Amino acid sequence: MIFRELYSAYYNTVAAIISSIIDGEHSEKELQKIVADRAFGESVLVILPSLKTEKWQLVHPDMTTSLEHKPTMPLTTLQKQWLKAISLDPRVKLFGVKFPDLEEAEPLFTSADYHVCDKYGDGDPFEDEEYIRHFRIILEAIRKGSQIKFEMVNRKGNMMFVRCRPVRLEYSEKDDKFRVITAGCRAVSTVNLANIRFCAHYTGERQSVGEEKAVIYDTVTVKIRDERNAMERFMLHFAHFEKQAEKLDRKNYFVKIKYAHDDESEMVIRILSFGPMVEVTGSESFKKLIIEKLKEQLNYGLK
C-alpha cells in the first residue's frame, strides 16, 4: 500500500522538528521554517500549532520534548521491494554502488512485468565499460563542480577536443539516452554521453568560465478538433510541456505550448502526427514548416 501516513510530509516534517529540538533549537521561527521547507503551503497553520497545543503530544508548550532520539524509521517492505527491483535494472551498473542486503524482499517488479513499448531502439550502451567509466567521471565532476576533458566527433564528422564543466545529466526516456549539459564551453553546450571518447578529469589550471547556456523558448498555438479522441490524446502527448488550454466550443480547443527552440523539428513532426485533428495557428514560422512538409508530400503524390 503506497498511500499511508508513514510516508507523509507531515510525519517527515515533525521528525525534522523533533531532531532540531533535540539539537537545541527552540525558536518557533526556526521551527516554522522547517515546516515551510518540508511540508505544504498551508501546513504552517497546522503542524506547529498542533504540537504547541498538545494535540500531538510530542513537544511541550516550551518547545522541549520528552523524546530522546532523533526520529528515524527503518525502510518499509514496500521500499525494500522497490529498491530490489531497481537493483535488477541494468542501468544501475552505471552508478557502481553496492546495494544493501535487502534480505528476503521480493522485487516489486521485474523486467518481465513491464514493457516500454515505444522507446527508440538505439539507446545508450548502459553496460559498456567505457560508457560506464565516462558516466562516473562526469557524475563526479558534476558533484564537485570540476572540469572534464574529452574527445568527440561533431555533426560534420570532425574530431573535437572539449574542456568543460558538466552541470547536469539529462536523461530522455524516449531516446533512452543521457546528454551531458555543460557550462564554460562555447562550442558544445549539450553532448550525447555515448558520443564522448577518452573522457577524463581535467586537472590543468585553465578555468571554464560561464554558466549553462540559457534555453531559448518559442511557442506554438494549435486548434484541436476533438474527433477520434484527439483532444485527450494531444493533451496527454504534450503533457510534459508548459502549456495553456482553452475550450472554444463543444468540439474545438486552443492550446498554446512553450517549447525549446532547439526542439522545433521534433515539435513539427509530433504535431504532424495528429493529422487533420490538430491545426497550427501560430506562429507563422512554425506554420510555414508544416506547410513546407505538406507541399513536398503533395508533390510526391501517393500511388
Q: What CA–CA distance (Å, rounded) separates 101 from 200? A: 33
> Between residues 30 and 161, which has the closer beta carbon with respect to other proteins?
30
- Identified binder of other proteins from the candidate list 32, 50, 221, 252, rule CB under 8 A: 50
Pairing of strands 252-260, 159-172: unpaired
> Between residues 185 and 289, which has the closer beta carbon with respect to other proteins?
289
* DSSP-derived 3-state class of residue 89: coil
Candidate ranges 13-21, 26-34, 156-164, 203-211; the one touching other proteins (CB under 8 A): 13-21
Which residues lie closer than 8 Å to 197 by C-beta, 6 or more apart? 150, 151, 152, 153
5 near other proteins (CB under 8 A): yes
Instruction: Report the DSSP beta bridge partners of residue 277.
Output: none
Q: Which residue has the cell 512538409?
A: 293
71 neighbors 59 (Cβ within 8 angstroms): no
Rounded to a whole number of angstroms, the distance between the first and last alpha carbons of the chain is 56
> Between residues 73 and 161, which has the closer beta carbon with respect to other proteins?
73
Compute φ and ψ for 100, nearest 5 degrees: -70, 165
26 near other proteins (CB under 8 A): no
Build a one-symbol-per-residue string for 74-113: x at contacts with other proteins by CB under 8 A, - elsewhere.
Answer: xxxxxxx-xx-xx--x-xx--x-xxxxxx---xxxx--xx
Identify which of 252, 244, 247 has the alpha carbon closest to the alpha carbon of residue 225.
252
Candidate ranges 66-74, 124-132, 146-154, 191-199; the one touching other proteins (CB under 8 A): 66-74
Site for other proteins in 204-223 (CB under 8 A): none
202 neighbors 138 (Cβ within 8 angstroms): no
Helix (H) or strand (E) holding 85: helix 77-87
Distance in Å, CB of 55 to other proteins, minimum: 5
Distance in Å, CB of 25 to other proteins, minimum: 16
Distance in Å, CB of 264 to other proteins, minimum: 14
- Identified binder of other proteins from the candidate list 28, 30, 73, 261, rule CB under 8 A: 73
Binding residues for other proteins, rule CB under 8 A, total: 124
Instruction: Report the DSSP beta bridge partners of residue 243.
Output: 257
DSSP letter (8 states) at residue 172 = E
126 near other proteins (CB under 8 A): no
> Between residues 208 and 281, which has the closer beta carbon with respect to other proteins?
281
Site for other proteins in 236-295 (CB under 8 A): 236-237, 239-247, 253, 258, 260, 269-270, 272-276, 279, 287, 290-295
> Between residues 121 and 204, which has the closer beta carbon with respect to other proteins?
121
- Identified binder of other proteins from the candidate list 23, 24, 29, 57, rule CB under 8 A: 57
> Between residues 264 and 279, which has the closer beta carbon with respect to other proteins?
279
Distance in Å, CB of 268 to other proteins, minimum: 9
Q: What CA–CA distance (Å, rounded) separates 59 from 41? A: 22
Q: How many CB atoms lie within 10 A of CB 131?
A: 19
Distance in Å, CB of 78 to other proteins, minimum: 6
Q: How many residues does the chain have?
A: 303
Distance (Å) of CA 266 to CA 259, 260, 270: 10, 10, 6
233 neighbors 239 (Cβ within 8 angstroms): no
